[in-house]
Chains A and B, each alone.
Chain A
């Protein structure tokens, strides 16, 4: 067996079991260690139970039977909790691919005198595992035992025995545990797990809730030690690897109109690449939304479905504003081609926003999307989180082959705010709008900062908004300097 230069020794010996969770397998270099036990720890509400259930249920859905042992919630409660997710626990149970077993420890601690063993629990687990031939097993949360049994010394040695038993049973196991104040887990379970430890974290910062996951230990394997943001959506846990962008999107070749003839001309007469991401930045009143509206209007004219997500104005305001610049969106709404979603960024946390956007994308399956302005999302979270989340949004759009246009509201001096979070680097095309100071009022300029993979105009063009429509006219000789004030 040979090792490639980039892989440490021992890597090939360790088999991996894919979690089938978006992003997580990437971070785990392929999955959980097969026939070993992985510890998942974190504070209350961090998503431990969901992660454990998803790994077991998604495995079952892929034909690998699983058993979920719940020490707190009854199986009925769990099935109810997970009903909103598309896991179909009931169907899996019905097809004998999954067992959810509630290990009932009673309401209060039992009286205790003298030594004991956890053989009763092992007898229970053995039968449940046998019933479906489970290969994946989750225990959630084993440490409830510490609240029921007072002789913790005996309990510790019994838990150690339980972990050995799991290994002897050759199951791939997930054990969840509460985070401790000074130790990784409240009862030091990390001491018993040497193969893989995943920590989940749920933080609220500036009223924005952010979930993160980190692989702390993975014996014999190179793994990412970064903290990776994750979302909980209708499809379950989606982790965003921050240190890599593994998604290989097919390079689009087809071109589509921007909806503005003059702007098409600036892109070699052909418009945007289908499936690309476009950033339109500018200060308030420079006409960013008009570029977005012209674009969805053109998409609907081609008979495509379009989605306009607004974080600023209501649906009726958008329609009214666009009518004033000669773009009538109403007929497209009536025809069912255009969906306008108005959101207020303060209502929800960043991840909830993204979840909602993704849900709408699932429902509408649009070919064209406008997010206006994406900066209202950016201002919700910390830069690092925001970049990861937006990268995910952009990736998600690309994976759907959706051509998405994001507007960015700039304010004050200094580099555009999107620059601060590096969003422009994930954009294929960047169009900047400016007010032209030495010109008559209402004079605007437009220019292309970058356009990946295509020839484009470099000069500032005049950009006009009137009731006759959105118009891009001839290039101006006005120099505006480099508006980027930094690398894209």
Chain B
């Protein structure tokens, strides 16, 4: 099983001289080792690689390590996936196993 740690996915090497695409940012909130959060991370990556030009920045926040963020960010269910950029904030609860709902919930797609 893949272990989750707080980390940032390295941005891929920048492409050629085309119009600069926006790099999307997501945060996945989890508490400790959580298979559903791992599934959510895999699903989010897969969906983004298909629908977004650039690989997104995905931050995994372990509330066991940073409990105060549960209060300040108002997280009650885990995993909770929040799209930070571009705004507005979009939120989906669960392991993102339903592709259609994930696309709608996080409004992922060409703008």
Contact = CB atoms under 8 A, between A and B. Distances in A.
Interface of A: 101, 103-106, 110-124, 126-128, 145, 149, 151
Interface string B76-103: 1111100000000001111111100110
B52 interface: no
B36 interface: yes
A101 B68 CA distance: 13
Contacts of A111: 91-93, 101-102, 104-106
Contacts of B106: 111
B69 to A, nearest CB: 9
B54 interface: no
Given A119-B63, A120-B63, A127-B70, A114 B97 contact: yes
A120 B97 contact: no
Contacts of B92: 110-113
Interface of A, secondary structure class, is: mixed
Nearest to B75: A120
Contacts of A113: 92-98, 101-102, 105
Nearest to B80: A120
Nearest to A111: B105
B96 A117 contact: no
A106 to B, nearest CB: 7
A271 B39 CA distance: 85
Nearest to A155: B77
Contacts of B75: 120, 123-124
B77 A116 contact: yes
Interface residues of B, number: 33
B105 A121 contact: no
A112 B97 CA distance: 10
Interface string B57-71: 000000110011011
B29 interface: yes
Taking each of A115, A128, A145, A151, which has the highest tally of chain B beta carbons within 10 Å of its own beta carbon?
Answer: A115
B31 to A, nearest CB: 4
A110 to B, nearest CB: 5
Given A123-B64, A126-B67, A149-B93, A118 B77 contact: yes
Which of B76, B94, B104 is packed against the most chain A CB atoms within 10 Å?
B76
Interface in B19-60: 29, 31-32, 34, 36, 39-40
Task: Kindly list the 8 A-B residue pairs having the minimum CB-CB distance in the complex, ordered from nearest.
Answer: A111-B105, A114-B95, A114-B94, A119-B31, A114-B97, A120-B75, A113-B98, A123-B70
A72 to B, nearest CB: 14
A116 B94 contact: yes
Given A111-B93, A113-B96, A116-B77, A124 B105 contact: no
Given A105-B74, A114-B39, A119-B31, 11 more contacts: A103-B76, A106-B74, A106-B91, A111-B105, A112-B105, A116-B93, A117-B78, A119-B32, A120-B63, A120-B76, A145-B76
B81 to A, nearest CB: 9
B36 A123 contact: no
Contacts of A121: 76-77
Given A120-B70, A120-B78, A124-B76, A115 B63 contact: no
From A101, A124, A149, name the one whose CB has the most chain B CB atoms within 10 angstroms.
A124
A120 B79 CA distance: 9
A33 B80 CA distance: 35
A292 B106 CA distance: 75
A120 B31 contact: yes
A261 to B, nearest CB: 73
A482 to B, nearest CB: 70
Contact of B36 (A114, A126, A149): A114
A107 to B, nearest CB: 11
A123 B96 contact: no
Given A111-B93, A115-B36, A127-B71, A120 B77 contact: yes
A76 to B, nearest CB: 16
Nearest to A145: B76
Contact of A123 (B63, B79, B101): B63
A73 B56 CA distance: 36
